[in-house]
A and B are shown apart, each in its own frame.
Chain A
Amino acid sequence: MEAIITENLTKYYGKFLALKGLNIKIEKGHSVGFLGPNGAGKSTTIKILCNLIRPSKGKAFVFGHNTLEESIDALKYVGALVETPEFYSFLTPMESLSYLGKLRGMAGDDLEKRILQVLETVKLSEWKNTKIGKFSRGMKQRLGVAQAILHDPAILILDEPALGLDPRGMYEMREIIKTIVREGKTVFLASHMLHEVQEICDSVALIDRGNLLAYDRIENLEKVFKVKKILVELLQPLEKKQIDRIQKLEGIRAVSAEEKCLTISFEGSEKDQAELLTTLIKDFGVQIVSYKPSLEALEEVYLQLIKEGN
């Protein structure tokens, strides 16, 4: 069953076309990264899904419920974090989550237990009784995630969830989302951070200037765009003639070296990838510390698509 469907979703802000006939179907239990530059239409799509704005044309559905006409039924399934969240400054996290939980029909001890649990998850337990008005942006972002997961929603819609977080916060946020993905929830994640999407999501939708450029599983996109990058960490730096020889191997598209690090772009299957490793060790006598796929592959797909779109 599709958790989210958009049909010819179009949005104009005055004369400005922000979203042009977006068609996406997200199966239940899948995690989809929503990528695109600023002004691409990511937030517009998310706002329509959350009934914050109305589409100019087309429809959006959450588990079969039209987000405009049956918004109450649709939003029951959704936990959302839209833009940088702002809370009522006169409330504490406990009170704020209690308010939002009660609005969703939660109550009593169950609600209190769940609030404490989500505050623990986002590492805000220590500040549970502090007025939110005193919170930093990062703390509000964490609280935003807490309110999004409070009711254990079937669908999590997140708009740049790592915005305003420090590196540790970003890591923790990724771990929280990964846990949710592992629980089989549907995740729709708008982000600028490609490695974040690559780590969390199984598919990506690439959007630019309101147009959907691609929507597929990440590995399929990498295949279509023949992008495969291997990051090789070496014990010692290679000589230039060695790098030139590697470049001449079958299937190798490019090799870049930086100190003890090699980035190899190549076309081929996983078997070819394994054979490349053997060749590097046996034929070239390279001492390899680590050999792993680079997270830059998605970035390359992204850049290619944006370039083609322009």
Chain B
Amino acid sequence: MHKTENARSRDLKQIGIVARYEFLKHLRRKRLYAVLIVSALIAALQFTVPLAFNIPFPTEAKNWAYGFLGFIGFLIIITGAFFAGDAIASEFEHKTGFIVFPNPVRRSSLVIGKFIAAFASALLTVSFYYALGAFAMLGIYGSIPVETALSFAYAILYICSVLGFTFLFSSLLKGSMGATLLSFFTFFLVFSITSSVITLTGNEPWYIPTYASGIINDVFNPQQDAVIQVPGSSFRFYTFYPKLPISAIILSIYFVVTFALSMVIINRKEMT
């Protein structure tokens, strides 16, 4: 019992150490600054472009937030892939694993520590974007809709889901670049196309993570599914909207499954 407690305490300490040094990596490699700048630019454009072209802001803060967070999915995928793509693969690709793995550290502790660092970096970026949005809403409307907190919570779930997939790719592939690109490709193309094709067949793609991530925006403006019959034809257009709590559950399941799989793989992966 005592031995188990000691082991647990050692594991927690090691996870903390790995997370700190991994976060230092994100800071030193300047990727974190780069995505923060990208976030600031996206936020600034959404605020300044309507002003520059005399386009009136929506009458309600909720509607402005809905538009402003239209980019949040993009930002989460970018940050997730950037911070997690090389988390595991680089240990094998750059052979740093020869120095790190022969230490009395569980590989799962290394993966969890790296995940925490990637999560912290992504969260920092997303929080920054939300903070900019909140300041803008205060400036324009003098208030922040309560749904913002809920949206932020769903954004955190989506971050976990994207990181889970990227960690899985990083543990499967030998190269960091491959893992990063596969993550982009999967979220920007595979999931989006699959989601569209499933929708065309009249089925709701509730199990696709990019579709489920729609709850981040839809929380401000919940809408009903719709079917439009094309006049004079049997063709129908379907419009689906992600629902709660299923979308939140789906994002959580993807995170748990992909992250657990990445840990299983890294535990078995050989450093040849």
Residues of A within 8 A of B (CB): 13, 47, 50-54, 71-73, 75-76, 78, 80, 82-88, 90-91, 95, 99-100, 102-105, 144, 147
Contacts and interface: CB of A to CB of B under 8 A. Distances in A.
B102 A78 contact: yes
B24 A147 contact: no
Contacts of B7: 72
A188 to B, nearest CB: 13
B98 A85 contact: yes
A55 to B, nearest CB: 11
Contacts, number: 77
Which 6 interchain pairs have the tightest Cβ spacing? A52-B271, A50-B102, A90-B28, A53-B270, A80-B102, A86-B95
Contacts of A83: 95, 98
A52 B104 contact: no
A72 B106 contact: yes
Contacts of A13: 272
Given A72-B106, A86-B96, 6 more contacts: A13-B272, A50-B102, A53-B272, A75-B104, A87-B99, A104-B104
A85 B25 contact: no
B102 A75 contact: yes
B97 interface: yes
Interface residues of B, number: 28
A72, A73, A76, A144 pick with most chain B CB within 10 angstroms? A72
Interface in B118-149: none
Given A90-B28, A99-B17, A105-B10, A51 B98 contact: no
A290 B219 CA distance: 90
Contacts of A103: 14, 17-18, 100, 103-105
Contacts of B270: 47, 52-54
B8 interface: no
A100 B271 contact: no
B74 interface: no
Nearest to B28: A90
A54 B268 CA distance: 8
Interface of B: 7, 10, 13-14, 17-18, 21, 24-25, 28-29, 94-106, 268, 270-272
Contacts of A87: 96, 99
Given A47-B272, A72-B104, A144 B99 contact: yes
B96 to A, nearest CB: 5
Nearest to B18: A103
A75 B105 CA distance: 9
Contacts of A88: 21, 25, 96
Contacts of A75: 102-104
A102 B103 contact: no
B17 A102 contact: yes
Q: Which of B13, B97, B103 is most buried by chain A, counting CB atoms within 10 A of its CB?
A: B103
Contact of B99 (A47, A73, A100, A104): A100
Contacts of B21: 88, 91, 95, 99
A73 B104 contact: yes
Centre residue among A51, A53, A80, A103 by max chain B CB count within 10 A? A103
B29 A90 contact: yes
A193 to B, nearest CB: 20
Contacts of B28: 90
B266 to A, nearest CB: 12
A151 to B, nearest CB: 9
Contacts of B268: 54
B103 A100 contact: yes
Given A53-B271, A99-B21, A86 B104 contact: no
